[in-house]
Structures are given as structure tokens and as C-alpha cells.
Amino acid sequence: MILAATLLFAFQGAVLKSDDVKVGEGVAAKPFDIVEVQYIGTFTDGKEFDSSVKRNQPFRFQLGVGQVIKGWDQGVTGMKVGGERNLVVPPELGYGEKGAGELIPPKSTLKFNVKLVRIVPGAKVEVLKEGKGDGLAVGDMLDCKLSIKLTNGTEIADPSQVSKIQISGRIFPGLNQALNGIKEGEKRKVFIGYDIAFGEKGIPPADDEQRKAGSIIPPKADLNVEIEAVKITHPKS
């Protein structure tokens, strides 16, 4: 059954068109969720340029941290598991004036049929001490004391040092979730499952010395994290 739900998202004058074919069930996907989708991408003339369906491999990414084009960050947010959505992505929310190599020509409007397969269970956050002020958001810089331990107690991040960190697609997804919204002075205790940390393979040794000592991070390693937010620097407007 095709539903008549059509949503329009505007970004700096560009409009994303979103049509729900099927709504799905359960909670809606939100920023910082890790999602798995099946998709087919076509140009406006109907020519297909990419398909996870043909590869029989769902595509995983984290919403809202810049891992995918803006049209996907906007268009997949709000979907529910089992839902299906058609997106029409203008170039401003896609690959822009330059395109993407030989695959996507410059200034291309793209169409996607997206099915949400799974929302991966997220980090479990416990607030130990409340903070003050505005919470950490994308683009902010955080000075923090960060402890990351394997479940056997092995320390892989030194909590005595103040680290600078930003929410981004360059750090593992569970840490983005752990940092999201933290305020100055706040302390958090977070459990991050391996599925949203370093995955099934972990981080293997890079040389003989590390090989003798074993993997830097073992396969399927769950993490216990403690964060103390020392200072948040917001970008200048």
C-alpha cells in the first residue's frame, strides 16, 4: 500500500523531497543512531548508478555526523524499521557542483529508494554528575578527560590527560553517542557494545612488537567509557 505522506526538507534553499511508501514499525531513527539500509540509487532518467540490493549487503552509517550526503542524513531520519521511503535529492544535498568522480556527474539530482532494515542498539549512558550550559553538538570542540577500558580492565585511553575531541564521522559511532549533548562539568559512564565500537575484527597489531603483545583492541571488544567534560568551545557564528 502506497501512503500519501510527502515531506519536504529545506536546506539553504535546496529542497529534499521524501515520500513514504511504507511507514514501518517501532521507534523512529534519530540523529546519532546507527542504521542499516537497503537502497537503490538512480538518476532522474531512471538509470541506476548504485544498489546495495544487488550486492545483497545492507549499508550501515551513523545519522547526523556527516558520514553520508546531507540528503540521506535528512531523508532517513524519522524512518522506522521495515519502512520504505523514496527520496529526491537535489545536488546541494547530494554531491554538489563537482559530482563524485566518474560515477555522479556535476549538479546531479538523484533518486533513492531506501528501506530501513535495522536500528543498531545504542550506547548505554549513565550521568554521574550533571553539567551546565549548552550540550555538545556537531561542530563544537570538547576538552575532556576520557577513560576507555576493555571489559577486562585494560586501559586504552589515558584519563589523566585532557583530550580534544569533536563529534564526527571520523570516530567510532558509539563514542559519538556517548558525547552527544554532554555539558561542561558533566560526568558520564557509558557502555559501548563492540557492534558500535571497533566491530568483529577489533584493531590488529601494526608491527611485530604489537603482535607479540596481542591486538591493540581484540575482536568483539565491548568498551567501558567514562567522560568528564572540562570545556566546550562553540564555533563562532
Regarding whether 128 and 104 lie in a shared domain, the answer is no
168 in a structural domain: yes
Helix (H/G/I), strand (E/B), else coil: 76: helix
- The stretch 80-84 carries a mean pLDDT of 98
Residues 6+ apart with CB under 8 A from 119: 26, 27, 29, 33, 34, 35, 81
Q: Quote the percentage of the chain above a pLDDT of 90.
A: 81
Distance CA 148, CA 218 (A): 14
179 in a structural domain: yes
Regarding whether 110 and 147 lie in a shared domain, the answer is no
Indicate yes or no: pTM above 0.95.
Answer: no
Regarding whether 93 and 133 lie in a shared domain, the answer is no
142 in a structural domain: yes
Instruction: Enter the C-alpha cell of residue 97.
Output: 557542483
Compute the 3-state secondary structure of the chain and give helix, strand, coil in percent, each to the nearest 5. Answer: 15, 40, 45
* Lowest-pLDDT range of 10-24, 67-81, 97-111, 194-208: 10-24
Residue range of the domain that includes 176: 124-233
What radius of gyration, in Å, describes the C-alpha atoms of the chain? 20
Contact call for residues 65 and 176 (beta carbons, < 8 A):
yes
Regarding whether 143 and 107 lie in a shared domain, the answer is no
> Catalytic residue numbers?
39, 49-50, 69, 95, 112
Which amino acid is located at 183 in the chain?
A: K
Regarding whether 180 and 164 lie in a shared domain, the answer is yes
Domain's final residue, options 120, 135, 168 = 120
Regarding whether 68 and 20 lie in a shared domain, the answer is yes
**Domain CATH number, residue 14:** 3.10.50.40
For 76, phi then psi, to 5°, come to: -85, -25
User: pLDDT grade, residue 207 (50/70/90)?
Assistant: confident
> Per-residue pLDDT for 96 more than 90?
yes
- The stretch 160-180 carries a mean pLDDT of 94
Regarding whether 107 and 30 lie in a shared domain, the answer is yes
Contact call for residues 59 and 67 (beta carbons, < 8 A):
no
Residue 157: what pLDDT? Answer: 85
Stated as kind and residue range, the H or E segment containing 172 is none
Distance CA 32, CA 229 (A): 19
1 in a structural domain: no
Size of the chain in residues: 237
Regarding whether 188 and 103 lie in a shared domain, the answer is no
Regarding whether 96 and 16 lie in a shared domain, the answer is yes
The domain total for the chain is 2
